[in-house]
């Protein structure tokens, strides 16, 4: 007999639970002052909460302030660790082609940091990068440009970097070292630069700005600043 009210209470609570909005429905399990257990769909501030049962059936017990603090600290440490791992990965990725870049820099008399900045913006150091327009590899060489530079495999890092650096050398000579026009032509083509008598499009202006910013950073790093 004593078990009947408890069963009815649970059935009523279950019915309320199922009829509530599935996204927010929860059951609350409380301890009455007499020691008995109450399960309800309503929050009760006058009773001690034992656990919360969500619509998915998962339950969670109230977390103490100290436990919550420890959990927050653990999450923060995990985020820091993941951030450091990502930074190390990014640094390693950026340095992976430094030897080839240095060789190409010396061969064509193009600043190391300038080449690296172009690679950073063009492909973010992904040798297999392929744009919607068909630009390929680290320095995003278009098929016709790659062919004119004798690059037979644009996805080979060495061929791509040497080809892209040779192209930068051509543009440096063509535009008398004007970094704005050099980068604008590399990004949008000579015809667009000539048509607009300068940097042609807003997207190209953004490109020039990004490359120049990375070029300055790489130059500072190389000089130890």
Active-site positions read 122
In whole angstroms, what is the distance from residue 132 CA to residue 145 CA?
16
In whole angstroms, what is the distance from residue 90 CA to residue 78 CA?
18
pLDDT for position 20 = 45
pLDDT for position 12 = 44
pLDDT by 10s per residue, the chain, length 225: 444 444 434 444 444 444 444 444 678 888 888 888 888 888 888 888 888 876 555 556 666 666 667 777 777 777 776 666 555 566 788 899 999 999 999 999 999 999 999 999 999 999 999 999 999 999 999 999 999 999 999 999 999 999 999 999 999 999 999 999 999 999 999 999 999 999 999 999 999 999 999 999 999 887 776
pLDDT for position 4 = 43
Q: Residue ranges per domain, the chain? A: 3-60, 96-223
pLDDT for position 221 = 85
pTM equals 0.62
CATH pick for 96-223 out of 1.10.10.60, 1.50.10.20, 1.10.530.10, 1.10.3720.10: 1.10.530.10
């Amino acid at each position: 007999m004593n078990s009947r009210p408890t069963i009815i209470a649970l059935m009523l609570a279950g019915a309320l639970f199922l009829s509530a909005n599935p996204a927010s429905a929860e059951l609350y399990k409380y301890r009455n002052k007499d020691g008995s257990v109450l399960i309800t769909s309503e929050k009760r501030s006058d009773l001690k909460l034992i656990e919360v049962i969500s619509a998915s059936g998962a339950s969670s017990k109230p977390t103490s302030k100290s436990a919550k603090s420890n959990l927050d600290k653990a999450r923060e440490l995990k985020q820091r660790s993941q951030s450091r791992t990502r930074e190390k990965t990014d640094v390693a990725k950026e340095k992976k082609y430094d030897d080839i870049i240095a060789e190409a820099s010396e061969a064509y008399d193009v600043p190391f940091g300038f080449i690296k900045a172009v690679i950073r913006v063009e492909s973010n150091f992904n040798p297999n990068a392929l744009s919607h327009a068909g630009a390929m590899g680290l320095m995003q060489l278009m098929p016709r440009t790659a062919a004119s530079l004798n690059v037979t495999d644009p996805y080979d890092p060495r061929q791509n970097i040497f080809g892209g650096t040779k192209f930068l050398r051509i543009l440096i000579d063509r535009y008398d070292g004007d970094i704005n026009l050099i980068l604008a032509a590399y990004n949008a083509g000579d015809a667009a630069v000539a048509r607009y008598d300068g940097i042609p499009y807003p997207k190209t202006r953004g490109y020039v700005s990004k490359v120049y910013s990375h070029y300055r950073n790489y130059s500072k790093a190389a000089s130890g600043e």
